[in-house]
Structure 1
Amino acid sequence: MEIIANTYPVRQFQTNYDWEEIRARYLPLYAGLVSDALEHLGYHSQCMASGIYPLTHTMKVAGPAFTCHGIATPSRDEKIHDIRLGMFKSMTPGVVQVRDTQGDTSCGQFGEISATAAAAHGCVGAVIDGSTRDSNYLIDMGFPTFCRFRNPVEAFGRFMVVDYQIPIYVKGMDGLLKINPGDYIFGDNDGVVVVPYDMTIQVLELAEEWFASEAKSRKAMAEGKNPFDVYEEFGRF
């Protein structure tokens, strides 16, 4: 893992795996299975708190976290937009933008223009621990977006991103959940799971193994086989 910084500042996270290959392998999976794999490996409470879901039930996110730290503020200083220049410059192909909001409910903290700019720099989805606006545009452009609620109110003068590619906290199932740049984000219609960066491949391999076993178990159950025999043979039920 490496963070590269310069005067923008540009902070690009470099993974030690092929992001396209890993993303293609994660996408067929589902959040419950990824969560189960983490639990099995001793990582508990790695899910964001209930209530964060995609704009449409078919949307999924899978990729290393690009973290954004936001705050509620009445500031209307245009210079703050310079932060966004470094933020977009720091994005690398395959990242999932994750924004904390410190519990702010005053506005829509992510919208279609932000998504358009992020997608142009390689971002493949967004997880907002708060709200979005421009929802129909986000849906029509097919940009996977997860949020807790929707709000049409403009963010400028109410909320802003003040830093990025730093550790952040979001609402977790058991309190605050820490997300570091590069932690693997997986989300579907059941919610969002956070895989620690160093566990990205190990969790994937275990989840893939179980996914294959479940397919066989599902087929055997559909054929009316004894559930006890199915469980003994495939280990997943």
Structure 2
Amino acid sequence: MEKIDYPLRKFEVNYDASAINDRFKKLYTGLVYDAMESMGLKGRAMNSGVYPLVHTMKVAGHAFTMHGKATPNRDAYTHNIRLGLMKSMTDGCVQIRDTQGDVTCGQFGEISATAAAAAGCVGAVIDGSTRDSNILIDMDFPTFCRFRNPVEAYGRFMIVDYQIPIFVKGIDGTIVVNPGDYVFGDNDGVVIVPYEKTIEVLQLAEEWCASEARSRQAMADGRDPFDVYEEYGRF
């Protein structure tokens, strides 16, 4: 196959990625989903089955999208792709990979995570499978997937493009994930926030989180739940 040089495709967010990631990780996906839905952004959650390797893992960061497919290809094409995508990652990003429903192998593992972390990536969401799960857990690299599989991807599956719009399975059908969209996951699943709405959704979710804390304390103090709801607007 003809050698192809892949250009840099960096997506630079217009906010402090580390600070925003820390703020999101103080929240939970149900709250962020509710905030989006109240703004008319419905169905922005991946469908059931995408969960962390360990229930305490959270993933939070702007999307670094990767498009893969099943293929027996073993030539240098894969190497060229990896050179381009690794150089295109930015600090605080989250790899999110589509897999076109492939179930033949583990599409993400220890080596992928090690290289990604060195490039500034802070987690991965795989609309498919991982392998090397115990090592990923020991690395404390936040990894979300549908299932686990010990089979090597080389010769079965490969990434063929990156930093392009990709499709993942959502609760109401397909979700388009664009580079820079915000990816947030916890033990309940994964939500996708459109890039241009990231800060607005975060601020609303934070306001609701504070209201919920006050509601929780008021109910713990014995107040009537309906009176509490009338006052704070959140249970």
TM-score by length of 2: 0.97
Partner Cα separation in structure 1 for residue 30 and residue 47 of structure 2: 14
1:56-96 deviation digits (Å, cap 9, x = unpaired): 00100111000000000011113322110111100010000
Q: Structure 1 counterpart of 2:176, which letter?
A: K
Structure 2 counterpart of 1:168, from 141, 166, 169: 166
Query: What are structure 2's unaligned runs of at least 5 residues?
Result: none
Answer yes or no: is 1:228 the counterpart of 2:226: yes
Partner Cα separation in structure 2 for residue 145 and residue 26 of structure 1: 17
Post-superposition offset of 1:224: 1.2
Q: Structure 1 counterpart of 2:46, which letter?
A: M
2:105 is matched with which residue?
107
2:84 is matched with which residue?
86
1:200 is matched with which residue?
198
Post-superposition offset of 1:181: 0.1
Matches within 5 A, 1:185-196: 185-196=183-194
Post-superposition offset of 1:228: 1.4
Post-superposition offset of 1:204: 0.3
| SS of structure 2 residue aligned to 1:199 | helix
Q: Structure 2 counterpart of 1:152, which letter?
A: P
Matches within 5 A, 1:72-151: 72-151=70-149
Partner Cα separation in structure 1 for residue 77 and residue 41 of structure 2: 41
Structure 2 counterpart of 1:51, from 49, 52, 63: 49
Post-superposition offset of 1:104: 0.2
| SS of structure 2 residue aligned to 1:12 | coil
| SS of structure 2 residue aligned to 1:71 | strand
Q: Structure 2 counterpart of 1:58, which letter?
A: T
Partner Cα separation in structure 2 for residue 169 and residue 190 of structure 1: 20
Answer yes or no: is 1:210 the counterpart of 2:208: yes
Post-superposition offset of 1:146: 0.1
Partner Cα separation in structure 1 for residue 78 and residue 145 of structure 2: 24
User: Which stretch shifts more, 130-139 or 12-21?
Assistant: 12-21
Regions of 4+ moved over 3 Å: none
TM-score by length of 1: 0.96
| SS of structure 2 residue aligned to 1:194 | strand
Percent same amino acid at aligned positions? 72
| SS of structure 2 residue aligned to 1:171 | strand
Query: What are structure 1's unaligned runs of at least 5 residues?
Result: 1-6
| SS of structure 2 residue aligned to 1:59 | coil
| SS of structure 2 residue aligned to 1:13 | coil
User: RMSD in angstroms over aligned alpha carbons?
Assistant: 0.7
User: Which stretch shifts more, 72-81 or 91-100?
Assistant: 72-81
Tell me how many residue pairs correspond in the alignment: 231
Partner Cα separation in structure 1 for residue 94 and residue 200 of structure 2: 20
Post-superposition offset of 1:47: 0.2
| SS of structure 2 residue aligned to 1:70 | strand
Q: Structure 1 counterpart of 2:86, which letter?
A: F
